Chain A
Amino acid sequence: QVPPRQLGGGLLKPSETLSLTCAVDGGPFTTFHWGWIRQPPGKGLEWIGEVHQGGGEYNPSLQSRVTISADMSRKQFSLTMTSLTAADTAIYYCARGYGMTSWGQGTKVTVSS
């Protein structure tokens, strides 16, 4: 299976909104879990949330600022995170599958004024 392909990212200012998208090239879409994970510089992995046929779940610590949505017709899923601060600076990864079995290449997001 081809790993999901990430789009978006870059430099954002504090209080702005982050929008990232992952495209699924080939293979089924509706039967999988699609999730987002981030990794601050020099630190470990933090699960952000996921969406699937039955709905979705979010990291309780980020839930108030995060929305993950899926566009089945375009085979894409997206992450929106509001009210960014410097603490949101990280590499953001999208992943497919229960247990995050296939990862995207990662997108560097920097939040700085």
Chain B
Amino acid sequence: QSVLTQPPSASETPGQRVSISCSGSNSNVGSYQVFWYQQLSGTAPKLLIQNDNRRPSGVPDRFSGSRSGTSASLAISGLRSEDEADYYCSSWDDSLSAWVFGGGTKLTVL
């Protein structure tokens, strides 16, 4: 059981927009910034969004993040087949004094 809640799966057709949610509580998402990671099959996770909505250098602007209250979301527009991956959210939790992850969302590009 993950501290942050993500839908286990999402799917959309190429060119469309998909949003992945990440739900937490006041001790994590409600108080601390959210980070998003993309994990392509068989590879290490890669930072996609930091500090709620900042894209690291090299991440296309098709990827965007937002946070409101105790929830955050990752949006991917103009979906491409290479976006098919697992996506994870993470935040610091001050009641656990630990970083916590969502369970991951498997994105399928139909």
Could you list which residues of chain A lie within 8 angstroms of chain B, going by C-beta atoms? 35, 37, 44-47, 50, 57-60, 93, 99-106
Beyond A44-B2, A45-B88, A99-B35, whether A93 also contacts B45 by CB under 8 A is: yes
Docked-complex contact B99 and A35, CB < 8 angstroms = yes
Docked-complex contact A46 and B47, CB < 8 angstroms = no
Task: Say yes or no for B101: interface residue by CB 8 A criterion.
Answer: yes
* A58 surroundings in chain B (CB, below 8 A): 98
How would you classify the secondary structure of chain B's contact residues: helix, strand, loop or mixed?
strand
B102 and chain A: residue at smallest CB distance: A44
Q: Give the shortest distance, in Å, between A32 (CB) and chain B (any CB).
A: 14
* B97 surroundings in chain A (CB, below 8 A): 57, 60
Docked-complex contact A59 and B98, CB < 8 angstroms = yes
Docked-complex contact A99 and B88, CB < 8 angstroms = no
**Which of B26-58 touch A at CB < 8 Å?**
33, 35, 37, 44-47, 50-51, 56
Within the complex, which residue of B44, B47, B104 is in contact with A101, where a contact is CB–CB below 8 Å?
A: B47
Docked-complex contact B90 and A100, CB < 8 angstroms = yes
Query: How many chain B residues have a CB neighbour from A under 8 Å?
Result: 22
Docked-complex contact A106 and B99, CB < 8 angstroms = no
Task: Say yes or no for B103: interface residue by CB 8 A criterion.
Answer: yes
Within the complex, which residue of B50, B96, B101 is in contact with A45, where a contact is CB–CB below 8 Å?
A: B101
* A60 surroundings in chain B (CB, below 8 A): 96-98
Q: Give the shortest distance, in Å, between B100 (CB) and chain A (any CB).
A: 7
In Å, the complex CA distance between A44 and B56 comes to 23
* B102 surroundings in chain A (CB, below 8 A): 44
Docked-complex contact A100 and B2, CB < 8 angstroms = no
In Å, the complex CA distance between A111 and B90 comes to 27
Beyond A99-B33, A103-B44, A103-B45, whether A57 also contacts B50 by CB under 8 A is: no
Docked-complex contact A57 and B44, CB < 8 angstroms = no
Sample (21) of A-B pairs whose CB atoms are under 8 Å apart = A45-B88, A45-B90, A45-B101, A45-B104, A46-B101, A47-B90, A47-B98, A47-B99, A47-B100, A47-B101, A57-B97, A60-B98, A93-B45, A99-B51, A100-B35, A100-B45, A101-B35, A101-B47, A103-B44, A103-B46, A105-B44
Docked-complex contact B44 and A99, CB < 8 angstroms = no
